[in-house]
Structure 1
């Protein structure tokens, strides 16, 4: 009895919410019709059985009503329906009840061993009743049917009433469980794709933010350095315009050259900003759910690829056209022309590095010299570049302010931050701070990205 209750509860858990235990109205109508047909059948069979045993026909009719009506609860308690059909098998009642009950039990979530046991008991009861009925109906005075014929008839009847509903119910149950499993997998896939789309959107936003930061850093380096030198030269031009016209003319030419260089670099960066990343338009959502989910994943992936391509395109363009270590001499020469005393030295065997490494090294020296122009006018500076195994080291140091004319250059406080971000992004080390003599020192060690990539590939 405990096992039966457990099976019943298991069947109840699988019952969907609806009118009682029916999911749809047509299921309720079907069960009501089956129950009515079974009640009518059991009433007639109950009356016949009552007459055979010498009982009033009304007793058999009254017994047939609850027996046939038990089909109403076949979806909720399939085990109980099968047990009722087995109980009334000796009375030769409930043909429809037994067939439909076995089918419902086989299609339910009841354990297989319970289904097999009840099916075997039902088949054995049908076998015994069929053998007795065959012997009673076929036997005549002077003729007794053989055991083989009775056994063959009984087996055919038992298998015919048990095997088809049992096999059909097992097939329908397996198909229903498969559909539910596929539906659960589809729901899980939809949740996973939704999460993937959210993460892709976050990554795309992060990529756009990183690209905006990188472009702002490039703009700062170009504008701050070029314009700072232009302002210094303009101040010198103003000071010597009346005293030394020839020097004023040279300074004016330098201002023009630096302004043209600044405009050229700004145009290059603005051209990168105007370039559109390659992308394909998303197809409209299809009617079927799997295609809609695929469209969601494709759109999310396209957003990530678009942001990545945009960042890589801008980075490649700036890396290919950006300054290199070989241009440091010209950079130092520009500061010398602006009146700064700069000592420039290179240690170690010169070699080429990855484009990003050389560009970063150039920008560090450029920004450091710009800071000297801004914050220590008239101070002498020293630029050292050391080529080492697998890395390049930089140091820009200036002494205290030499009392030069302050050009009134504004400072946003982002120079050191930008240098640190550039160096650490390549896995390098950046250190800055005042010196004991009242000056300022900027040091950076940048590993060779190209050599690191070759080592990892090996």
Structure 2
């Protein structure tokens, strides 16, 4: 048994005081045989006092304590208080089966008492009925406390599991967000750096433009990373601004500045600003991932990439990205010196999860010569 703390000592002292006060206050109401000698009565009271002191053993051995007190009760009229404390402790801290066995021992004399035909005006009848009623109350109250503690423990465990699941989902969302944002920015850096390395004789103007794009992309990547880390450090500071469908035009413009031949066909009824936030944000991430993969796995920076976004209220939203690509996994970036742009292979997996959470579908694969990324997203009326 672990050592008692302050609360345990306070509870045990309270139980001892209750048992002692019960013995003293109920002394006049306890029926005592008129023929009992003063010495026997004194010994009976001393037995009650020892029973009260034995209450401090209720945590170490509640079942033996309750058993001994119940067996001693017919020989001592002043053990009722300690018995109530012992039965309450057993009902709270032991299995219901153990409590049921002790209940059988506690209420075993009831049939014998009823069979004896007690008189209603006999003091022993009132004393016995009061005793058994107190036993039933102690056991019932102990079972109630036990069930309440188990309920609180179950709720705490459920809350802990929910908090753990929430933290896991938050980490996955942050990891997915970092992949979507940083992979796009860093792939732009890789394309321009590879172009400078591949063409060392570029004019100063070309070098200056490429360096400017690299600087801007690096700055934007740091800003995106700073925002994400800021959310992690100050989760109560509010949500960072999320992209919408209208931002797809800026996204494709950045890819064009990086040298990619990106064509955008936007056919959205009412304009891209009318798209639902969830569908628009998911469509933006799909286009972002498609452009990133086209730079990483396409045959070259000047390979054509087509982005088509169509939809409207009640019709849904469709997003399609097509670009030439080779199917071998060992493809290398043609603008570099033979080093492929690294990828974790988790982009499409996370993108599919994101699309499913938005209520849509995602398909990807080769259709002969092009790699096709196609998604459908709901747009209710």
Q: Tell me, yes or no, if the aligned pair for 2:296 and 2:333 is still in contact at 8 Å.
A: no
* Aligned CA distance change for structure 1 residues 399 and 26 (closer, same or farther; 3 Å): same
Q: Where in structure 1 are there 5+ consecutive unaligned residues?
A: 1-15, 34-72, 87-117, 124-158, 278-312, 453-458
Q: Tell me, yes or no, if the aligned pair for 1:323 and 1:359 is still in contact at 8 Å.
A: yes
Q: 1:180 aligns with which of 134, 139, 152?
A: 139
Structure 1 Cα separation of the partners of residues 199 and 279 of structure 2: 40
Q: 2:289 aligns with which of 355, 367, 371?
A: 367
| SS of residue paired to 1:427 | coil
* Aligned CA distance change for structure 1 residues 81 and 399 (closer, same or farther; 3 Å): closer
Report the alpha carbon displacement of residue 178 of structure 1 after superposing the two structures with TM. Answer: 2.9
* Aligned CA distance change for structure 1 residues 422 and 369 (closer, same or farther; 3 Å): same
Report the alpha carbon displacement of residue 242 of structure 1 after superposing the two structures with TM. Answer: 2.5
Q: For each residue in 1:106-159, what CA deviation from the matched residue of structure 2 results, as whole angstroms up to 9, or x when unmatched?
A: xxxxxxxxxxxx34xxx4xxxxxxxxxxxxxxxxxxxxxxxxxxxxxxxxxxx6
* Aligned CA distance change for structure 1 residues 253 and 28 (closer, same or farther; 3 Å): same
Report the alpha carbon displacement of residue 175 of structure 1 after superposing the two structures with TM. Answer: 3.9
* TM-score scaled by length of structure 1: 0.55
Does 205-214 or 391-400 show the bigger shift? 391-400
* Aligned CA distance change for structure 1 residues 171 and 372 (closer, same or farther; 3 Å): same
| SS of residue paired to 2:76 | helix
Q: 2:244 aligns with which of 324, 348, 351?
A: 324
Q: Tell me, yes or no, if the aligned pair for 1:347 and 1:386 is still in contact at 8 Å.
A: yes
What's the counterpart of residue 221 of structure 1? Answer: 180
* TM-score scaled by length of structure 2: 0.66
What's the counterpart of residue 280 of structure 2? Answer: 358
Pairwise mapping of residues 191-340 of structure 1 onto structure 2 (< 5 A)? Answer: 191-275=150-234, 317-318=239-240, 321-340=241-260
Q: 1:441 aligns with which of 361, 368, 372?
A: 372
What's the counterpart of residue 77 of structure 1? Answer: 109
Q: Where in structure 2 are there 5+ consecutive unaligned residues?
A: 1-61, 80-104
Give the alignment's Cα RMSD to 1 decimal.
3.2
Asked if residue 413 in structure 1 is aligned to residue 345 in structure 2, the reply is yes
Structure 1 Cα separation of the partners of residues 277 and 235 of structure 2: 23
* Aligned CA distance change for structure 1 residues 169 and 397 (closer, same or farther; 3 Å): same
Structure 2 Cα separation of the partners of residues 338 and 441 of structure 1: 21
Structure 1 Cα separation of the partners of residues 311 and 106 of structure 2: 87
| SS of residue paired to 2:217 | helix
* Aligned CA distance change for structure 1 residues 276 and 432 (closer, same or farther; 3 Å): closer
Pairwise mapping of residues 103-182 of structure 1 onto structure 2 (< 5 A)? Answer: 118-119=117-118, 123=119, 160-161=121-122, 164-182=123-141
Structure 2 Cα separation of the partners of residues 441 and 31 of structure 1: 90
* Aligned CA distance change for structure 1 residues 20 and 330 (closer, same or farther; 3 Å): closer
Report the alpha carbon displacement of residue 77 of structure 1 after superposing the two structures with TM. Answer: 3.4
Count of equivalent residues: 283
Which structure is higher in RCO with an 8 Å CA cutoff and minimum separation 6?
A: 2
Report the alpha carbon displacement of residue 180 of structure 1 after superposing the two structures with TM. Answer: 1.7
| SS of residue paired to 2:239 | helix
Asked if residue 397 in structure 1 is aligned to residue 322 in structure 2, the reply is yes
For the pair shown, the structure with the greater C-alpha radius of gyration is 1
Q: Tell me, yes or no, if the aligned pair for 2:332 and 2:341 is still in contact at 8 Å.
A: no
* Aligned CA distance change for structure 1 residues 354 and 172 (closer, same or farther; 3 Å): farther
Structure 2 Cα separation of the partners of residues 242 and 74 of structure 1: 101
Structure 2 Cα separation of the partners of residues 347 and 261 of structure 1: 29
Asked if residue 432 in structure 1 is aligned to residue 364 in structure 2, the reply is yes
Pairwise mapping of residues 5-20 of structure 1 onto structure 2 (< 5 A)? Answer: 18=64
What's the counterpart of residue 388 of structure 1? Answer: 312
